[in-house]
């Protein structure tokens, strides 16, 4: 294993051990800063010489099937790895910047199915969360900034619903973040004409108990999530917002009527 491969593996191992959600390669004039996002906050991991960091970024891009010769446009890719015996899905995103490419790697451990009791919340909050599973229809929306635990909390709730009620859970995601053999998981693929709209219509014909719509990013996914909740199904989704007030404001900005929303 050469120096680039060795350092790349070391960065992934350190990020995994620190339970980081993302690794950031930040190009600067004379060097490249590497930061880890842990519990919503960014922490400096290392500062690498510019040329060496560029070689590491090219190494990751090659392994993820990205075009290593194109540094002028944003790219994305994915890679499955095993870190300390645990399967982890890596999602890559590059951006061209003034000083060269920036790379962000999202770490998505696949075998770690978080339980609601593992979320480090008070027992009364745990009980309240689990009580939402008794609701037969409506929209349960998890909001918060990047790295705040939205996805982990949502998947923990879905796992609890599967164990408690053996619910038929169908997800529509872009992309699938955590693989789970207990769910039917669909991934948006616009090239195959599998959009949120066509996928949602197909799901409703598949007799689901719970529908999980991936992160609400635009008016289309917002309307899909609301429409699904009004068809008599229980719907889970996430949205980037700092608090419940901002969540309602964000949904209204995306075209969701105020009377369809209830804060909890």
Poorest-pLDDT segment among 116-120, 189-193, 221-225: 116-120
141 has pLDDT over 60 = yes
- pLDDT of 32 over the 90 cut: yes
ω before 123 within 30° of 0 (cis)? no
φ, ψ at 69 (rounded to 5°): -85, -10
Whole-number mean pLDDT of the chain? 86
Q: Tokens 């951006």 label which residue?
A: 95
- Provide the pLDDT for residue 217: 78
The predicted pLDDT at position 73 comes to: 92
Taking only the tens place, the pLDDT of each residue in 42-94 is: 999 999 999 999 999 999 999 999 999 999 999 999 899 999 999 999 999 99
DSSP strand pairing (86-97 vs 75-83) = antiparallel
Single out the residue of 245, 213, 39, 243 nearest to residue 143, CA to CA: 243
User: Which pLDDT band, with edges at 50, 70 and 90, does 35 fall under?
Assistant: very high
The predicted model scores a pTM of 0.70
pLDDT, tens only, 8-17:
999 999 999 9
Three-class SS state of 40: coil
Asked if pLDDT for residue 243 goes beyond 70, the answer is no
């Amino acid at each position: 294993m050469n120096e680039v491969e060795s350092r790349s593996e070391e960065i992934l191992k350190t990020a995994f051990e620190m339970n980081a959600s993302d690794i950031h390669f930040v190009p600067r004039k004379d060097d490249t800063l590497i930061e880890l996002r842990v519990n919503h906050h960014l922490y400096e991991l290392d500062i690498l010489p510019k040329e060496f960091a560029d070689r590491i970024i090219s190494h990751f891009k090659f392994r993820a099937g990205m075009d290593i010769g194109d540094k002028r446009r944003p790219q994305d890719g994915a890679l499955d790895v095993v870190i300390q015996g645990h399967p982890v899905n890596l999602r890559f995103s590059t951006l061209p910047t003034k000083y060269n490419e920036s790379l962000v790697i999202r770490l998505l451990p696949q075998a770690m199915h978080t339980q609601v009791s593992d979320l480090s919340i008070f027992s009364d909050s745990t009980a309240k969360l689990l009580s939402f599973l008794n609701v037969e229809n409506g929209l349960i929306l998890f909001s918060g900034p990047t790295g705040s635990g939205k996805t982990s909390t949502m998947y923990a709730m879905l796992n609890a619903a599967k164990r408690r009620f053996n619910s038929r859970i169908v997800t529509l995601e872009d992309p699938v973040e955590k693989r789970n053999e207990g769910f039917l998981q669909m991934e948006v693929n616009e090239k195959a004409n599998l959009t949120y709209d066509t996928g949602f219509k197909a799901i409703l014909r598949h007799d689901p108990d719970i529908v999980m719509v991936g992160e609400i990013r635009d008016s289309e996914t917002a309307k899909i999530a609301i429409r699904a909740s009004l068809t008599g199904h229980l719907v889970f989704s996430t949205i980037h917002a700092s608090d419940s007030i901002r969540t309602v404001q964000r949904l209204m900005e995306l075209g969701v009527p105020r009377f369809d929303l209830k804060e909890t």
